[in-house]
Amino acid sequence: MNMKVVYSSIYSKHDPPHFPHIENSTRLELALDALGEVEVLSPEGAGDPLEVHDGTYVEMVRRASEAEEQIDIDTYTNRFTYESALMALGGAFTAYKVEGIALVRPPGHHAGRYGRAMGAPTQGFCIFNNIAYAASKAEGRVAIIDFDVHHGNGTQEIFYLDPKVLHIDLHQDPSTIYPGTGFPFETGDGEGKGTKVNILFPPGGGDDLVLEVIPFIQSLLDQFKPDVVGFSAGFDGFSGDGLASLEFTEASFEALGGLREKRRWFAVLEGGYSVGLRRGLPAFVRGVERKPEEPRPKESKSEVKMKFTRSLEETKYHLRERWKL
């Protein structure tokens, strides 16, 4: 069985209108190329952004797109952005239905209900929150595993009070990188308390740290018993991808894909700009398909490892009331 990939040419029409930008249409060519032979499906239609966003924000995006205006210093629009973003929502939901990967643009995990989320300086290239849309339309309990190198602040904000969504977010230490959120003490609120999990990697962190944290994530999943696992799949943590300082390689992305185990799953593309798409994305697919090649993990320096262990202890400390750890 071939991997199912949800793609539409409209996703490649959202492109920077005035200046070069790292988040551009060549990314999806790179991703499709890296995956080789796959079954390409079209999104079943546009999604309704009001499911996860406020009407005033949706209208602002529509107008900005019409005028090809920047939303902020990081986040551009062109005249295809609005339609592309609506179809990206639909594509994420299609991926949920068919158990495949949505290769969508614009990306989504930094987009909160009103746009910028949790006081972030910008929307970080994101327009509508694709993974949040698919999760909100999914049946039953959803575990979102966001392994983009940046914190999924939009997703966390949208589901902060929602106990039906377990959001586990792995990212570079937010005191060293955009958007500056996603600390261990951010665990959700009200009934959702304890269902938002932030796992931080110090700059320089390698595959050994990801492998160390896998059993912890497995234990959360075993206790939560999700009906579906949705991956907010960013590949910008890959060593040398360009925007961050982590040193993940194939070993990390294979192991992260393997977290699916035998559960229903789907994935939605977030970041990943060069080598991450070329090498991280196919490794993730091998993990999901349970055909691992188990490449040699890249080791972190001992001081990085020590920082990570301390930070993981802090994450567990803040979760101790909800989970057996």
Specify whether 110 is catalytic: yes
Residues making contact with Zn ion (CB under 5 A): 148, 150, 234, 236, 271
Handedness of CA 109, 40, 165, 206 (dihedral sign): negative
Q: Least distance in Å: CB of 126 to Zn ion?
A: 9
Q: Which DSSP letter does residue 206 get?
A: B
Beta pairing partners, 325: none
Nearer to Zn ion, 206 or 234 (CB): 234
Q: Least distance in Å: CB of 155 to Zn ion?
A: 12
Minimal CB distance residue for Zn ion: 271
As a whole number of angstroms, the distance between CA 183 and CA 187 comes to 9
Q: Least distance in Å: CB of 323 to Zn ion?
A: 27
Nearer to Zn ion, 194 or 271 (CB): 271
CA atoms in the 13 A half-sphere facing the CB of 297: 17
Nearer to Zn ion, 226 or 272 (CB): 272
Angle (CA) 135 6 87, round 5°: 70
- Which helix (H) or strand (E) segment holds residue 197: the answer is strand 196-201
- Position 225, amino acid: K
Nearer to Zn ion, 11 or 178 (CB): 178
Whether 23 contacts 234, CB under 8 Å: no
As a whole number of angstroms, the distance between CA 33 and CA 294 comes to 22
- In the structure encoding, which two tokens stand for residue 138, read together? 């999914």
Nearer to Zn ion, 174 or 297 (CB): 174
Q: Which one is catalytic: 110, 151, 167, 171?
A: 110
Question: Which residues, at least 6 apart from 323, have a Cβ–Cβ distance to it below 8 Å?
Answer: 194, 219, 220, 223
Q: Least distance in Å: CB of 148 to Zn ion?
A: 4
How distant, in Å, are the alpha carbons of 156, 210, 312 from that of 317?
19, 19, 9
Q: Least distance in Å: CB of 149 to Zn ion?
A: 5
Catalytic amino acids?
110
